[in-house]
Amino acid sequence: MFSGIVQTTGKIQEIKNKNNKVYFFIEAKNFLKDVKIGESINCDGVCLTVVKKKKNFFEVELMPETLKVTKFVDSQKGDLINLEKSLKVNGKINGHFVLGHIDGVGKVKKIIFDNDYLEFFISVPQKLMKFLAYKGSVTVNGVSLTISGIDNKKNLFKISLISHTLEVTNLSELKIGDKVNIEVDVLARYLDQLKQFQ
């Protein structure tokens, strides 16, 4: 489990295809000292297991299902990846509970520059809109964010990013048309499931 507070960004140095699986070799300087093989790392919102590790590099394995439901199917060498280690039981939770299980892929439809912050309008599959609420939580590429606007007719939601978030994540590189990994708030997901049994 994670909090959606990105600790650093890594860079994809190599992508390998082997036995119907894909492997990302990611560079992450000054991040891996306490990370062991077999541990989970949130990579752009996706919970992935470290299968190999060197001082400043680690390798993760992506199953076909992961590629099917995430933006990683289009990833290329050189892409920046938001990284977060899993939560510790005695640690702080500054964002919201993030599982690392992607619900769908969104697409950046509009970007507005306003002084020191940016507003992003992101479209998502219609089936996800019921889980999104004004001032509710959403995870975009592994970043815990507050929804600042909703347009149910266009299947859009808006997020507003302060300069700090832009500095420490890969969201600053987003362009119109780019895909992003979306995870809805787990509480909304469970509430929807409970409603079906009432």
Q: Quick one: tokens of 3?
A: 């909090």
Give the whole-angstrom CA distance, residue 145 versus residue 60: 25
Phi-psi region of 20 (alpha: psi -120 to 50; beta: other; left: phi over 0): left
DSSP 128: G
pLDDT at position 195 is 82
Q: How confident is the model at residue 90 (pLDDT cuts 50, 70, 90)?
A: low
Query: Quick one: DSSP state of residue 127?
Result: G
- List, for residues 76-89, the tens digit of each pLDDT value: 999 999 999 998 76
In tens, the pLDDT along 98-126 reads: 999 999 999 999 999 877 789 999 999 99
Dihedral sign, Cα of residue 90, residue 182, residue 100, residue 191: positive
pLDDT of residue 193: 84
Q: What is the DSSP string of 15-82?
A: EEEETTEEEEEEE-TTT-TT--TT-EEEETTEEEEEEEE-SSEEEEEE-HHHHHHSGGGG--TT-EEE
Catalogue all structural domains in the chain, each as residue range(s) with its CATH number.
Answer: 8-85 (2.40.30.20), 104-195 (2.40.30.20)
Structure confidence by residue, pLDDT tens digits, 49-79 = 999 999 999 999 999 999 999 999 999 999 9
Going by C-beta distance under 8 Å and a sequence separation of 6 or more, which residues neighbour residue 33? none
Q: What is the pLDDT of residue 114?
A: 77
Give CA torsion, residues 24, 25, 29, 30, to 10 deg: 80
